[in-house]
């Protein structure tokens, strides 16, 4: 038998992974020390506004550089723009990656003090004004970009500054004076579309935005049906031909060539349309979209340090972030073992692990069918449960937009799992020992303390990475990030939803311990069944794209279902790895303690913390 590594060696290895991941990601985002990364936070009349400022070494008072504001989408935060801030900063642009109001560390908008444009741009205009006042920024070359909701911010920002310039002209200002009012030279809209501009009646080119404009919208974007067409139709649709006419005055017949720059012959502003073969969430994890942004800003603002669009390193930062993420999760079990070696917790150690008789014949078939049915039902419940939560559980007590919906789905899934477990296992009465739920009162209290200690210890690694390296642990949209103290109370409000699910889930997972099964087999089977529900939902959503060019929910005429069908699959993606990791922890921690409680509590705590830290909110904390 292969000898198991000690907890000391495994914990050291996890710490090394965390350190390597954080340090490596920091090196890439700082362009190996050539870009200074600053945490920015200031009060505006709308509230607290925060973000990252990237200042390359070429940006000085003597040689001011062009600057770009980059915004994340709905339910995200500034780190989701690493694809842009890494590539643009290493090309010499000053970059401000914002936390839009009501996202990340920025506050809810103060409606009494805020202007309408601060609301409609999520604070992007605040960033533009901030950048224009920095002596190392060329105020005549400021660009904006954003993904999804952030793309809407970039659209609204371009429209706003265009209106300022036109209003100044109408007030009798000179062209130079009017131009000084317009602080946006280029706007690159990703995962969104300037529908208001495209729907304009004036196709002479006289009413378009007074800046260069780019659009990057995927062929399979889930939200296109909300705009009235399928994504793959973008380059051969009347709305795009109308956009070209309104912005440039050019009349185009037939399909538009992707990446072709159209120029307004009167004011010389440019327009380009990109349509990569991507889903919505792929835009901020794509060499194609990154290359399109690089090309657009090189064409419109000019890069102080130009590099080919194919020369990209953002993926390397994501790779280091992933290494840190692996270290984060690898730390949990050996850290729990270390704490269990302390006298206070040592009584929680299990002397043996009870397993069920091996599966044979009909029992094996029933076991597989029962777990598959459980996954299918939970997948079916995913959209209605989240929509119910979104409709009923967004209020001053539960202030976040989607966490309540995920909580409702969690409770509904727990109920389904209990029913399936009852059918598969028979009566629950007197089965506390076999289910792993039997625990003495004193042990229960210590288990709660241990779960809190484990969770606090592992999240200390995230805070250390943020403090020393200004990075977090992540891959794509699965992000472990820091949070401020105000979110702790919010976590406690949502914790009951996740406690119900993860305690029930821990019971169910640990029923996969059968005599004759190796631990590896138990883990693989448990992880697969645990991930089944969100994975099925994602497959049902996206597989039809292969045949129809659009997701399943694109055919729904009901706006709520269409919007839910576009948004909820994106929410479900991180829950595939989350539920797989939870199953792994359930098994490992149950073998340490002999009960399901530590695994269920630890999973509920870390998942609640991750969910609450990474979304938007509609009421103040």
Asked whether the predicted pLDDT for residue 428 surpasses 90, the reply is: no
Of 79, 74, 102, nearest to 621 by C-alpha is 102
Q: What is the pLDDT of residues 600-616, one digit of tens each?
A: 999 999 999 999 999 99
Of 8, 23, 597, 582, nearest to 331 by C-alpha is 8
**CB-based contacts of 462, cutoff 8 Å, min separation 6:** 328, 472, 473, 480, 481, 482
Tokens (6 digits) for 97? 């990656």
pTM, entire model: 0.94
Asked whether the predicted pLDDT for residue 1 surpasses 60, the reply is: no
Q: What is the pLDDT of residues 221-278, one digit of tens each?
A: 999 877 778 889 999 999 999 999 999 999 999 999 999 999 999 999 999 999 999 9
Token pair 């994106």 is found at 570
Mean pLDDT of 180-201: 96
Q: Kind and range of the H or E element at 261?
A: strand 261-263
| Strand boundaries in 462-598, DSSP class E | 473-475, 478-480
Mean pLDDT of 206-218: 97
pLDDT over 90 percentage in the chain = 86
**CB-based contacts of 223, cutoff 8 Å, min separation 6:** 148, 191, 192, 280, 566
Rounded Cα distance between 209 and 262, Å, is 14
Q: Are 131 and 67 in contact (CB under 8 A)?
A: yes
pLDDT of 256: 94
Of 515, 619, 595, 621, nearest to 111 by C-alpha is 619
pLDDT of 432: 80
Asked whether the predicted pLDDT for residue 412 surpasses 60, the reply is: yes
Of 108, 111, 120, nearest to 155 by C-alpha is 120
Mean pLDDT of 91-117: 95
Rounded Cα distance between 228 and 241, Å, is 15
Of 256, 328, 263, nearest to 17 by C-alpha is 328
Mean pLDDT of 310-324: 98
Q: What is the pLDDT of residues 125-147, one digit of tens each?
A: 999 999 999 999 999 999 999 99
Buried b (16+ CB within 10 A) or exposed e, 269-291: bbbbbbbbebbbbbbbbbeebbb
Please tell me whether residue 117 adopts helix, strand or coil conformation. Answer: helix
Mean pLDDT of 107-117: 93
Q: Are 223 and 195 in contact (CB under 8 A)?
A: no
Q: What is the pLDDT of residues 453-505, one digit of tens each?
A: 999 999 999 999 999 999 999 999 999 999 999 999 999 999 999 999 999 99
Alpha-carbon 393 to chain mean position? 21
Asked whether the predicted pLDDT for residue 27 surpasses 80, the reply is: yes
Residue 520 CB neighbours (<10 A):
8
Give the confidence band of 560 by pLDDT, cuts at 50, 70, 90: confident
Rounded Cα distance between 345 and 591, Å, is 15
Q: Which domains, ranges and CATH numbers included, belong to the chain?
A: 31-310 (3.40.50.1820), 317-613 (no CATH)
pLDDT of 555: 77
């Amino acid at each position: 038998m292969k000898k198991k590594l000690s907890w000391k060696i495994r914990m050291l290895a996890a710490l090394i992974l965390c350190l390597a991941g954080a340090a490596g990601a920091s090196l890439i985002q700082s362009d190996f020390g050539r870009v200074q990364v600053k945490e920015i936070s200031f009060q505006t009349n709308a509230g607290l506004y925060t973000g990252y400022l990237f200042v390359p070494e070429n940006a000085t008072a003597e040689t001011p550089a062009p600057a770009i504001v980059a915004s994340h989408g709905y339910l995200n935060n500034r780190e989701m723009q690493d694809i842009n801030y890494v590539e643009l900063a290493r090309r010499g642009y000053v970059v401000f990656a914002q936390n839009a109001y009501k996202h990340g560390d920025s506050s809810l908008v103060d409606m009494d003090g805020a202007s309408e444009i601060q609301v409609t741009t999520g604070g992007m205009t605040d960033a533009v004004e901030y950048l224009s006042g920095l002596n190392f920024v060329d105020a005549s070359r400021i660009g904006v970009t954003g993904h999804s909701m952030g793309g809407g911010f970039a659209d609204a920002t371009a429209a706003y500054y265009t209106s300022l310039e036109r209003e100044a002209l109408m007030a009798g200002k000179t062209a130079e004076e009017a131009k000084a009012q317009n602080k946006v030279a280029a706007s690159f809209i990703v995962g969104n579309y300037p529908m208001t501009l495209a729907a304009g009646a004036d196709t002479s080119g006289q009413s378009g935005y007074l800046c260069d404009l780019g659009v990057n919208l995927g062929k399979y974007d889930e939200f296109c049906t909300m705009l009235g067409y399928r994504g793959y139709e973008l380059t051969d649709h009347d709305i795009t031909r109308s956009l070209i006419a309104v912005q440039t005055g050019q009349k185009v017949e037939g399909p538009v060539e992707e990446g072709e720059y159209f120029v307004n012959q009167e004011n010389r502003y440019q327009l380009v349309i990109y349509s990569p073969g991507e889903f919505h969430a792929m835009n901020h994890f794509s060499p194609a979209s990154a290359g399109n942004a690089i090309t657009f800003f090189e064409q419109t603002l000019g890069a102080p340090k130009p590099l080919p669009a194919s020369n990209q390193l953002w993926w390397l930062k994501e790779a280091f972030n992933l290494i840190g993420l692996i270290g984060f999760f690898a730390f949990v079990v050996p850290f729990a073992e270390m704490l269990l070696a302390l006298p206070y917790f040592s009584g929680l150690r299990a002397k043996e692990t009870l397993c069920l008789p091996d599966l044979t014949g009909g029992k094996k078939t029933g076991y597989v069918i029962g777990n598959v049915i459980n996954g299918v039902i939970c997948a079916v419940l995913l959209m209605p449960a989240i929509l119910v939560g979104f409709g009923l559980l967004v209020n001053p007590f539960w202030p976040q937009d989607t966490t309540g919906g995920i909580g409702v789905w969690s409770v509904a899934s727990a109920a389904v799992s209990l029913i399936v477990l009852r059918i598969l296992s028979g009566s629950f009465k007197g089965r506390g020992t076999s289910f792993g739920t039997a625990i003495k009162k004193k042990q229960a209290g210590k288990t709660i303390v241990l779960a809190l200690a484990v969770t606090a210890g592992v999240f200390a690694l995230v805070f250390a990475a943020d403090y020393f390296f200004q990075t977090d642990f992540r891959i794509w949209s699965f992000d472990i990030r820091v949070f401020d103290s105000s979110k702790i109370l919010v976590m406690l409000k949502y914790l009951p939803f996740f406690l119900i699910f993860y305690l029930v889930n821990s019971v169910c997972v640990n029923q996969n311990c059968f005599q004759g099964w190796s631990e590896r087999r138990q883990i693989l089977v448990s992880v697969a069944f645990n991930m089944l529900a969100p994975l099925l939902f994602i497959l049902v959503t996206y597989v039809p794209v292969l045949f129809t060019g659009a997701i399943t929910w694109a055919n729904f005429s009901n706006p709520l279902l269409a919007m839910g069908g576009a948004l909820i699959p994106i929410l479900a993606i991180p829950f595939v790895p989350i539920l797989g990791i939870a199953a792994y922890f359930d098994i490992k921690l149950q073998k340490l303690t002999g009960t399901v409680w530590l695994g269920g509590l630890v999973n509920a705590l870390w998942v609640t913390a991750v969910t609450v830290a990474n979304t938007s909110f509609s009421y103040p904390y």
